[in-house]
Chain A
């Protein structure tokens, strides 16, 4: 089952701008994770935010979590061409199984 809905499905911005992606989920969570996938490749773990955290930073990444709204956002600041990829949120559905959102395809235009 797909837990998360991501918004927007596709995003195209100019290099240097900020990119914001949103994710909503349905059930209670212990944590939420964000992954990046370059075209035709595997997934790379970006950041994990626990249910008792509201915001977390990692380099140019900023993740927020609102458990009351069951939503999370991923902000990439000062985007670069290399940030072009698909981004997925994922929640854990028991026994280490991850349920992924639909993903946002991000394109950074030079």
Chain B
């Protein structure tokens, strides 16, 4: 099956800095990837749909200028949290939709903003 990796697995940064998270589809060319955010002991919330070669589609309430998504190739999507603040601390998970109803999730990236 498709394997999805994320890098880094965890990151700690100072408030005001930017952090880039990578999501790679290791054995499948994905035109679409998804980014989710999960706060402690809560469910996953879809943030945006990453589209290869075009602009990402953001969910309502997600600031596109704060969460920059770049899907430059069929195997890589990046999420950059710009000017991160403590409230951005969360678990970020990407996913790849391979075929109908078959979605694979990355292992997640834990972001802690001090």
Q: Hey, which bits of chain A sit against chain B, CB under 8 A?
A: 2, 31, 33, 35, 40-45, 48, 88, 92, 95-103, 105
Size category of the B interface is 20 to 34
B46 touches A40 (CB 8 A): no
B34 touches A (CB below 8 Å):
yes
- A44–B91 CA distance with the chains assembled, in angstroms: 16
B44 cross-chain contacts in A, Cβ below 8 A: 43, 88, 98, 100
List B58-82 residues whose CB lies under 8 Å from chain A.
none
**How many residue pairs bridge A and B at CB < 8 Å?**
53
Query: Which of B45, B49, B105 has the most CB atoms of chain A within a 10 A radius of its CB?
Result: B105
A31 touches B101 (CB 8 A): yes
With contact pairs A40-B108, A43-B93 given, residues A98 and B103 touching in the complex (Cβ less than 8 Å): yes
B34 touches A97 (CB 8 A): yes
Min CB distance A100 to B, Å, is: 5
- A17–B108 CA distance with the chains assembled, in angstroms: 31
**B3-42 vs A: 1/0 string, CB under 8 Å?**
0101000000000000000000000000010100000011
B93 touches A42 (CB 8 A): yes
Q: Quick one: which of A33, A48, A96 contacts B32, CB cutoff 8 A?
A: A96
- A97–B106 CA distance with the chains assembled, in angstroms: 16
B108 cross-chain contacts in A, Cβ below 8 A: 40-42
**B93-114 vs A: 1/0 string, CB under 8 Å?**
1010100011111111010000
B54 touches A (CB below 8 Å):
no
